[in-house]
Structure 1
Amino acid sequence: MAGTVLCHGEGCRSGGAGHTRQRTAGGTRLCHRCRDHFTAGLVELAHLYEECGRVLGGGAPGSMRERTTGGELPGLPFNGAAADVRSRMVSVLGSWSGLVAQQRGLVPPPRTVAALTAFLLRNADWLAGHTAAAEATQEIARLVRAGRRAAFPDPARTVRLGACPEPHCAGSLALAVRSRTPDENPAVVCDADPAHRWTSERWSELSHVMDSADPARPSAADRPTTERWLSGSDIARLWHVPTGTVYRLASEERWRRRKAAGRTYYSETDVRTCFSARAARG
């Protein structure tokens, strides 16, 4: 399928002021960036589907809530938004998978979000060259936005990051996260002294300082490492990358992980090492 000269993907179509529509990659109708955003959105949808399921089950979105014995409390309100977006995910992903299967002569996947997203990822290059590629990127982007709103309905939450590295300060650092209207540059702020404040772009540098800031600790060679653990969405905000990219890198780079209250958290050391290496490569 012949590609167009200029990209019509969601990123180029809805780009903000100063955004220049990119040329398409060879043989497709999308530029490299819009194609990457499309595949990252598919990866994120699989996780958002599970997050919306947790909201339906009464789970606290984005939290480290401890599990309780005896099951969930009775009388939890039904979350219509989460149920609706899960249904739309199956419908939209199933529709695009059906198109691919029909036109490529493939066996359609089971109608589960995990199977549908995996199928579309395997056929992403073919779909990027299809005449409906622009519509596919738009629908997936809308689904991702709706999934985020349903999975993380609280307008703000706090991500605790560790002790403030400023001398003689007993405070702790936290990142204020707004899920519906995320800040362009969220700040890392000390709860004891608001003047102790850093932009999130400095997190890699700051986390190194935090590791060695406390003079009461044993030397680095003698003390056990205190690991910080971050969720996928926290990593995306701290390093300013799509959440789908986070999950892809976590798999490719085999970041250490652990689960708490049904959510997956990744080793901050592994994440920092990965992004530092990417930055060095340019």
Structure 2
Amino acid sequence: MASEDTAPRFIPGAVLSCSEPRELGMIVRYDGTDYHGFQKQPDGCSTVQAVLDQTLAGVLGPGRSIGASRTDAGVHAAGQVVVWRGTVAMPLEKVPVVLNRRLPPDIQIRAAFWVPKGWDPRRAASWKQYSYRLWRAPTPPPLSLYRRALWRPDALSWTRLNQAAALFLGRHDFQAFRTEGSSAETTVRTLLVSRWVMEEAGLVWRYQVLGNGFLYRMVRHLVGAMLEAAEPGGDMDRIRHGLAFPADKVGALAPPRGLTLEDIQFREPASGKG
């Protein structure tokens, strides 16, 4: 994951000359609980992008933002990457300070950096990393985790969770593990990481997944299928069936509150075209 005080390693901002056209890039974190996703909505519902655009325009002047990932309603982000299509006269180091004073506390700018003019973070993204957190204690999670972890105090098999996660590794057709409504050209994706880890002395079970792209609500469907497999009496058969027969839907949809977009990796652009 990108550090708190540096631009992502994939951005060639350090080699941009002063005369080369450039635009503002930012790493953004947010708690998505109170937002209808990242992307602006035609009905005017509150979204992360709408708040960013209003705040950025008020500070920097006219423009619009482009996000690398369109997270769904209620989903969080620690490493969303956003580019501002507009003029920036402010010194780069002041951008996070000034914006964070004006943004609501559930949206924060972690870092600001320059990117080539016209660079599209959505098209240039090559890998995305998500986490899904479960709170496993018999009592509700503390306030620090309450909005970003799913409380599951019931019996779940740690062994079966990891066995199920391993089935998703590699290149598969994940059509069975998505919600309809996506315009994706193909439902084939490759997962390099798919595993569960324990944190907070075993009180938090966190699913880590790294892939070259994800279908609409795919991670939440994967988590839902794994939880079903890990429940008493559960097994891997439905997951294996969904991978073998992609047209058959598999797995319940896990709630959004446990899901966080952690990091995005990019192809280093040869030019500003992404």
Q: Is TM-score (shorter-chain normalized) higher than 0.5?
A: no
Higher helix share: 1
Higher relative contact order (CA 8 A, sep 6+): 2
Higher strand share: 2
